[in-house]
Amino acid sequence: MDFIYADELKKKFDVTGYFYELDVNNIIFKCRNRLDIKSKEHVNGTPPDIIVVMMNPGSSKPKSTDYIEPRYSVSNIDSLIEQDMVETKPDNTQYQIMRVMLEKGWNYATVINLSDLRNGNSGEFSKVFDTMSINNLSHPDSIFSDLREQELDFLLSKYESDIILIGWGNLKNQEEFMKKAFSKFKEYNIVGVKSENCEYCYSHPSPQKQEQKVQWLKNIVELLTI
């Protein structure tokens, strides 16, 4: 399959997200709860072709530097159910999803994460995730937390496919939420490139080397055609 580069992908797709700050015991965490990737041909009002579940939003940020992120506390985190999305800078992982969308003829993908905590370095992210665990074991940063059950149910109620695409990687301190996600998706067909690192680990779509990116694309497109 052709490996389409970022400059061309940006002409074909728009990316929006919802960014917020989460106050947990007076510690402020930068978060994003959802990302939408839509082709220029997408018709407003039509449901997503695919829901993708990733590890975390990485270093994702709003396109506008003037955007002021709303702040939530644990007590009102359920207000995240439906909010206005803003233009977002795409990253390498999102480009991979765009390539899958082009291959499958999809116009709309929604991306959620095991954790909403924004950090582009997996080692640093693990530390921030553990800090959240220390301050609130219920993990309000996760859409798979019991605190945010209504939000996930609302998202799935608007989804008509039976496929969930998994690419959340191999961080073992997130295994509990990988397992929780599986329990939430019992009625869906889980598709992902299985990793040997743990029982619920699935390879991340965007490894460092281009040939590895191409291999992931080939693997996932093959799995999606079975």
CATH code of residue 186: 3.40.470
Helical pair 92-104 and 210-224, crossing angle rounded to 10 deg: 40
Q: Evaluate if residue 2 carries a pLDDT over 90.
A: no
The rounded distance, in Å, linking the Cα atoms of 61 and 88 is: 6
On whether the CB atoms of residues 69 and 19 are closer than 8 A, the answer is yes
Does 1 fall in a domain? Answer: no
Does 173 fall in a domain? Answer: yes
What is the total count of domains within the chain?
Answer: 1
> Counting beta carbons within 10 angstroms of the beta carbon of residue 132, is it exposed (0 to 12), middle (13 to 18) or buried (19 or more)?
buried
On whether the CB atoms of residues 31 and 104 are closer than 8 A, the answer is no
Domain housing 158? 6-224
Neighbours of 189 (CB within 10 A): 13
| CA torsion through residues 160, 98, 181, 26, sign | negative
Q: Evaluate if residue 226 carries a pLDDT over 90.
A: no
Does 92 fall in a domain? Answer: yes
Q: Give the per-residue pLDDT at 7.
A: 97
pLDDT digits (tens, 9 = 90+) for 114-146: 999 999 898 899 999 999 999 998 999 999 999
pTM over 0.75: yes
Tokens representing 72 are 């939530």
